[in-house]
Chains A and B, each alone.
Chain A
Amino acid sequence: MKKFITHSIVFSILAFLVLAIMVIGTTLFAKKSFDYSIPENKNILVIGDSHTECAIDDRILNNAFNLSQSATCYFYTYLKTREVINHNPQIDTLIVSYSYSSLKKIKDKWLIGPENLKFKIRDHLILFNATDFKELFLASPKDVLVFAPQVIAHNFKVLRNGYSALGGFDNSERNNLQEDILKLQNEDEKNPIEGYSKYQEDYLLKIYNFSQEKNIKLILVNTPMHAEALKKDTKAHKTYYCEFYASKMPEASLLNHTNFDMADSGFGDAYHLNFKGAKIYTDYLMKTNFAEDANYCHEIK
């Protein structure tokens, strides 16, 4: 029995060490080998979740570099912001997705839920420093332990794919709007407020502080939404959203384009644009030069 327990313990430690060495080794290698540079002419970094991923076409806005990825919480957005800006001093403008859903409690799932963590940690581990890892580990210890080893193989995939592994403009041809509208019309009630995500708020503020520190212009953008989807958020929630922006990020601009005049053909679904909508919206941003022209928050005040 003693022999069995000793062997089991020694074996477990050995297996853990081998895995830890492989995770750390491949991550350090990938971190060192990854090409962080973006083209010299790109001075605008677009970052965030599916809203900006589907809305800002960086082939049209050709001085922008869109690195948004669907289901990305502000934790990973902050890491991307930090690493890309640190390696690319030409960036002077940062556009971050800030939708009505961004601060909701439900977004915690994007950080600590196993479904999302599995994919996000393996894509983004090369961007982590020890503190980031510790913070994610404390937020979701079990899932970090279970999924971190997957980076051993995935680090090489990230190296091979470069920035495209971390996001990019989604030239979406999706056409689910009518289906979504029907669904939304059948739901009588407005979206309930189940609290706000501390993680999302904290990391959004980290992005804000980082941009201030680096003297980079921060533009928060709430991309166009279909009128049916817009009805779902309560006034109280919208007020919280606006107040958070106004009180915590006074130096940032907010482009609240949820009411943007967009034909149905421009929507992939009620919350996201498709490639047609992205073209119209990106053209508009270029034309107005990101002017703070449509801020619903002003109306609330």
Chain B
Amino acid sequence: MLFNSIEFAIFLPIVFLLYWFVTKKNIKSQNILLLLASYLFYGWWDWRFLSLIIFSSFLDYIIGLQLHKTEIKKKRKALLFMSLIVNLGFLGVFKYFNFFAQSFADAFTMFGIPFEASRLNIILPVGISFYTFQTLSYSIDVYRKKMEPTNDIISFFAFVSFFPQLVAGPIERASNLLPQFHKKRTFDYSAASDGMRQILWGLFKKIVIADNCAVYVNQIFENYTDYSGSTLFLGALLFAFQIYGDFSGYSDIAIGTARLFGFNLMKNFAFPYFSRDIAEFWRRWHISLSTWFRDYLYIPLGGSSGSSAKKIRNIFIIFLVSGFWHGANWTFIVWGFLNALYFLPLMLLGKNRKNTNTVAEGKLFISFKEIIQIAITFFLTNIAWVFFRAENVTKAFKYLKIVFSKSLLTLPDLSEISLVILALIGLLVVVEWVHREREHGLNFTNTQYPKFIRWSIYIGVIVVIAVFGGSQETFIYFQF
């Protein structure tokens, strides 16, 4: 079920009313309701893959309990490995098998050895990378004794499949989300109202920004040889807004929806395009994944301690794995590699934590220096996005070759691009700039605006969504 669908608009109020009126008195029945609703939400797409989630949940539930029962190091390690192998095994088969098979075949062929790789005719279960990482965080945290395992199977299953964030995150840590299933939830008017505002802002970003940009991005990327460098550069800019609108829009809707049910999910985006350097960008973009890799991969590898060679190795590992997490294609690996290259000088010079606050904090306007820093960071991310979006690495290089040709200095072909869309992107930037120190673009908590003004703004956003909404597109991150 898509967030931007009529089905979800019917589903959500029904679950909400049942949750707060019918199952209100009992946490267990609330959790059962959430579990059933989550399975319905997921099964709406393809019920067959529910079995994967159920199996994965059951395995990690049992492993968690077994880890708690034993102090024998070898046995604990074996249990953790079992969780890692099974969960990552599913991911490997469904997501990476064909990629590895093809890459092996290509490598053999390159050395003149004909090799026919067999391929699996399978589809990728939606959200597998997200819920796999979520259940893994539980097994690892229990193994590390950072948290107690749960005995409550319903809570655990509901935690793994919690519908607001099941298919595209934020990837929750068990230590944050699971305890919330054990506690009594009370309805909080201001949290729920702000949740609704966040949903509305997420829908604006998805339906207006991302879905409209998608039309031009598809046109430009699929026919890139027909356009000038300046138009291709514009295409890359539009993709930057498409992917931001799509993914951060999804996260906003997920976080807002969870708040309606009394849950707090972690922040996933913090206005990343206002970052002054790449390190700041990565603290603000897909935060739940970056911190997951930091906690479960980067720090165990040694993090930023040790020799320079070790630091460099760790940076490349984390960015390459992050790229590979996004998809079984060399384009994502090159994207990760580029980001590692961007990040490396900052880390080696000890400047990666220079910009930890919000840009122009407490001020409306920004200094010239900060404008330049933001522009350079945005430009670098755009170059990397070309690899992320392109069909293959060769096409990405060809695309960039045209971008950096003389035709970059010509006027872009705006004939097929609606100026209204560019104006709406401008609106997004302005609203997010004004609210960059808040949780989301439409957060009016503790502001002085009278109700009439606030409601007019919300209705204005609804009108913009209804009038300028693009075609109902699926979310980009569903494929990851």
The interface of chain A, by Cβ under 8 A from chain B, is 1, 3-4, 7-8, 11, 14-15, 18-19, 22, 114-115, 118, 142, 145-146, 149-150, 152-153
18 CB contacts below 8 A, A to B, read A1-B187, A1-B189, A3-B189, A8-B196, A15-B458, A15-B459, A15-B463, A18-B459, A18-B463, A19-B466, A22-B463, A114-B471, A114-B472, A115-B471, A118-B471, A146-B6, A150-B466, A152-B467
Q: Within 8 Å of chain A (Cβ to Cβ): is B342? A: no
Give chain B residues whose Cβ lies under 8 Å from the Cβ of A115: 471
Inter-chain contact B466/A4, CB cutoff 8 Å: no
The 3 closest A-B pairs by CB, nearest first: A149-B466, A152-B467, A15-B462
For the complex, is B397 an interface residue (Cβ under 8 Å from A)?
A: no
Given contacts A11-B458, A115-B471, A149-B466, list 20 more A-B pairs with CB under 8 A: A3-B189, A4-B189, A4-B193, A11-B455, A11-B459, A14-B459, A15-B458, A15-B459, A15-B462, A18-B463, A22-B463, A114-B472, A142-B6, A145-B6, A150-B466, A150-B467, A150-B469, A152-B466, A152-B467, A153-B468
> Do A19 and B6 touch across chains, with their CB atoms under 8 A apart?
no
Whether, in the assembled complex, B390 has its beta carbon less than 8 Å from a beta carbon of chain A, the answer is no
Residues of B within 8 A of A150 (CB): 466-469
Interface status of B192 (Cβ within 8 A of chain A): yes
Q: Which of B458, B459, B467 is close to A153, meaning CB atoms less than 8 Å apart?
A: B467
Which residues of B111-135 have CB atoms within 8 Å of chain A's CB atoms?
A: none
Residues of B within 8 A of A (CB): 6, 20, 187, 189, 192-193, 196, 420, 455, 458-459, 462-463, 466-469, 471-472
Q: Report the Cα distance A146→B7, complex, angstroms.
A: 12
Chain B residues, CB < 8 A from A146: 6, 472
What residue in chain B is nearest A149 (Cβ atoms)? B466
Check if B187 sits within 8 Å of A4, measured CB to CB: yes
Q: Name the prevailing secondary structure of the B interface residues.
A: helix
Cα–Cα, bound, A152→B420 (Å): 14
Chain A residues whose C-beta falls within 8 Å of the C-beta of B20 in the assembled complex: 1
Report whether over half of chain A's contact residues are helix, strand or loop; otherwise say mixed. Answer: helix
Of chain A, the residue at the smallest CB distance from B468 is: A153
Q: Which residue from A1, A14, A19, A153 sits with its C-beta under 8 Å from B455?
A: A14
Q: How many Å lie between the Cα of A150 and that of B462 in the bound state? A: 12
A149, B20: Cα distance in complex, Å: 32
Known: A4-B187, A14-B455. A153 touches B6 (CB 8 A): no
Measured in the bound complex, the distance between the Cα atoms of B169 and A158 in whole Å is: 42
Residue of A nearest to B260 (CB): A4
- Per the bound structure, the CA–CA distance linking A150 and B466 in Å amounts to 6
CA distance A23 to B355 in the complex (A): 47
Whether B420 and A153, one on each chain, are in contact in the complex, defined by CB atoms closer than 8 angstroms, is yes
Whole-angstrom distance between the alpha carbons of A78 and B467 in the complex?
Answer: 26
Instruction: Give Cα A18–Cα B455 distance, bound, in whole angstroms.
Output: 12
Within the complex, the shortest CB–CB distance from B381 to chain A, in Å, comes to: 32
Shortest CB–CB separation between residue B383 and chain A, in angstroms?
34
Partner of A19, one of B463, B468, B472: B463
What are the residues of chain A within 8 A of B192 when measuring CB–CB? 4
Query: For the complex, what is the distance from the CA of A115 to the CA of B193, rounded to whole Å?
Result: 34
- Nearest B residue (CB) for A3: B189
User: How many angstroms from the CA of A35 to the CA of B458 in the assembled complex?
Assistant: 36
Q: Which residues of A contact B187 (CB under 8 A)?
A: 1, 4
With a 10 A CB-CB cut-off, give which of B187, B189, B420, B466 has the most chain A CB atoms: B466
Please report the C-alpha to C-alpha distance between residue A158 and residue B97 in the assembled complex, in whole angstroms. Answer: 51
B436 to chain A, nearest CB (A): 26
Complex-state Cα separation, A179 to B469, whole angstroms: 35
Q: Cα distance A14–B472 when bound, in Å? A: 24
Complex Cα gap A199–B242 (Å): 38
- Please give, as numbers and ranges, the residues of chain B lying within 8 Å of A18 by CB-CB distance: 459, 462-463
Report the minimum CB–CB distance from B392 to chain A (whole Å).
24
How far is B189's CA from A11's CA once the two chains are assembled, in angstroms?
15
The smallest C-beta distance from B274 to any residue of chain A, in angstroms, reads 30
Bound-state CA distance A146–B465 (Å) is 10
Q: In the bound complex, what is the Cα–Cα distance between A145 and B463 (angstroms)?
A: 13
